[in-house]
Structure 1
């Protein structure tokens, strides 16, 4: 006889510190697991009753989901026995997933659930993008929900035409379009739509990939102006200037990673940290200017060794949402200040924190550092990504290179 039990799967911890909740079906000493789409911290799980404790904020929702899943599993087992079918745990699992597919979850409901899963795993940035993607679909649909079957090739073309005609930049729309496709692929993997479902089959993405973003890398003389600028600590531009140069000197480190740096990441004039986006580890020998700058922050902002280096995050920011909102707020202010700095030194470029990252990569390329090495220093997944960064090479530089060779 097959048995059904809900459990906290402690062998698979999530980034949030919680563990996924599974339904385990066992027969002939073989078990299979079906995800219930919820997670729970170990201290909030009642092992005796295999339920979340009553003080869990989602106690009712999770308890109802568990009881419903157990009821459906036992009903399926009973049906198989009544039909005199000998079945394996794998077959039972597939049948339960098939029932899950038949639940007719709408596109917006599935999107909301997926966003919540990302937030539970502390992937707030990704969650925000998928939320914005859903909003772009809602705008097109005037807020009306839809089934997965409503997403056809014709729908996608009209969705594209709607936003581009209303002035949305192609690069911005491509972000939504790409994430919309990824969302549907996730739904396919989880069994909410059939394997042959592919409304994006004849959609051409190449035209978006050919679009070159506006040049963000500074020329050498422009970067020299930024380096030479001296600002008083009382200037409202002081921190923005420091963050920009810190990124440039520290291999194009992202602003998100700068915000998360702690004093424990500095060891013997080396910066050792793990990039949030990719999980890559970096070990960087600090430039003398950076060492001097950190001396200032240690003298004026140091609290304790495990505290944040820069006055971006503090102990007040505890939850992923608080952290993400704070970083977003400071980043907007920093980019605004960088515009002022650009005007101050006479640079016409649209200066942002990302300009430092692009300038770092382009400067290396100008010094004939191989693309493969730049890829490693930037933490890119492939050389193709690095090449996109280097597309901003200005025509004047290219002409000089050609003239020096010919």
Structure 2
């Protein structure tokens, strides 16, 4: 059986104090776990293994020591129940892992993994959300068991009370906390019994959102309006994405002339690395004709990313893509205004517009293949509102018809 004892190190530090440690002894072998604080020998009760009242922070330090001892005992019991090696070294390693296993340390690992996988868009979105959790805690770190349903409700209320945000934005903050919690559980650093999400805890539900696109008449108006310069370029990119089945703007900007072969476009979606090909229609070819030039830099179809020195730098590419999308969305405002289109035509609206017009023409499963969604429900989310609206409109008409 292992023994756990609180004591002072034999050697004093530079401040003339002695570090408080927990000694774990098993099979005559021992390991020392630092509590992270030190005291003078005159402030230490060796018999009772605690800090004397003469120390200004005795109560707080004794509570901390008790917590660290409880953690060591808890880890020892877990190892024994699971028939795991319970040597002093293993127990010490387990306790140290539990001690270091705080939310923000795991958040740093979570971000590092996103960056390593090249998922820089999510990285830039998640970092500010983690920063707001830290702001809520006044820069204090927190252990996972402390993140319970009450904590999550208070955090969400604080978010809405300190800034003007939508319900969707608030939910996105909870999602990143859940992702980091799941990571810690998957790495066997946190007991799943503390998990605050799902049944019996906080159920994350995204609010319904209106995903409306442009109507056929709007598209025709955009096609026919006379535009020049940056407005024409923004219009071309928007229509090209639409003609390609609602291709993501980030993928449009990365297209190279080598992606076109035998009347088809072959490309891999940047978001999920799913590949596929599309037939080049006459409308697509008409746009491509405007960009054919000798020796295009990086062999890019569209010139937006030609400013970049190296397209292999994924972080720099994704960061600049956001800059270009924002600029092109701004220029699209002028294009829609001149075309008398009274709807926003941001880059992502081309995707919603295609889904809206695909309704009744192709199946949701076929659109899923075009959009390259992993989950059919995601595709149905693009199309669903339109089906529901038509059913409601039809029902309303039926009721009103009875009054005639």
TM-score normalised per structure 1: 0.69
Partner of 1:325: 319
| 2:221 is the alignment partner of 1:225 | yes
Do 1:107 and 1:148's aligned partners in 2 also have CA atoms closer than 8 Å?
yes
* 1:124-143 Cα distance to aligned partner (Å, 9 max, x none): 11222221220121232233
Could you list the runs of 5+ residues in structure 2 that have no partner in the other structure?
1-82
| 2:191 is the alignment partner of 1:194 | yes
* 1:156-184 Cα distance to aligned partner (Å, 9 max, x none): 01011112234310111222211210111
Partner of 2:267: 273
Do 1:237 and 1:341's aligned partners in 2 also have CA atoms closer than 8 Å?
yes
Partner of 1:138: 134
Query: 1:385, CA displacement in angstroms?
Result: 0.9
Query: 1:226, CA displacement in angstroms?
Result: 1.5
Do 1:100 and 1:191's aligned partners in 2 also have CA atoms closer than 8 Å?
no
Q: How does 1:301-316 map to 2 (within 5 A)?
A: 302-303=295-296, 307-314=299-306, 315-316=308-309
Do 1:138 and 1:144's aligned partners in 2 also have CA atoms closer than 8 Å?
yes
Query: Which secondary structure state, in structure 1, belongs to the residue aligned with residue 370 of structure 2?
Result: helix
Q: How many residues align?
A: 311
- The counterpart of 2:149, out of the listed 136, 148, 153, is 153
Q: How does 1:51-70 map to 2 (within 5 A)?
A: none
Do 1:257 and 1:276's aligned partners in 2 also have CA atoms closer than 8 Å?
yes
Could you list the runs of 5+ residues in structure 1 that have no partner in the other structure?
1-86
* 1:283-315 Cα distance to aligned partner (Å, 9 max, x none): 100111211221221227x426x6222112235
Larger Rg: 2
- The counterpart of 2:123, out of the listed 120, 123, 127, is 127
Query: Which secondary structure state, in structure 1, belongs to the residue aligned with residue 378 of structure 2?
Result: helix
Partner of 1:52: none
Query: 1:103, CA displacement in angstroms?
Result: 4.5
Cα–Cα, structure 1 residues 396 and 157, in superposed 2: closer, same or farther, change >3 Å?
closer
Cα–Cα, structure 1 residues 155 and 310, in superposed 2: closer, same or farther, change >3 Å?
same
Cα–Cα, structure 1 residues 398 and 121, in superposed 2: closer, same or farther, change >3 Å?
same
Cα–Cα, structure 1 residues 102 and 88, in superposed 2: closer, same or farther, change >3 Å?
closer
User: Aligned partners of 1:345 and 1:178: how far apart in 2?
Assistant: 40
- The counterpart of 2:369, out of the listed 365, 376, 380, is 376
User: Aligned partners of 1:380 and 1:97: how far apart in 2?
Assistant: 42
State the Cα RMSD in Å.
3.1
Cα–Cα, structure 1 residues 316 and 216, in superposed 2: closer, same or farther, change >3 Å?
farther
- The counterpart of 2:235, out of the listed 237, 241, 247, is 241
Partner of 1:170: 167
Query: 1:393, CA displacement in angstroms?
Result: 2.1
TM-score normalised per structure 2: 0.69
User: Aligned partners of 1:348 and 1:394: how far apart in 2?
Assistant: 23
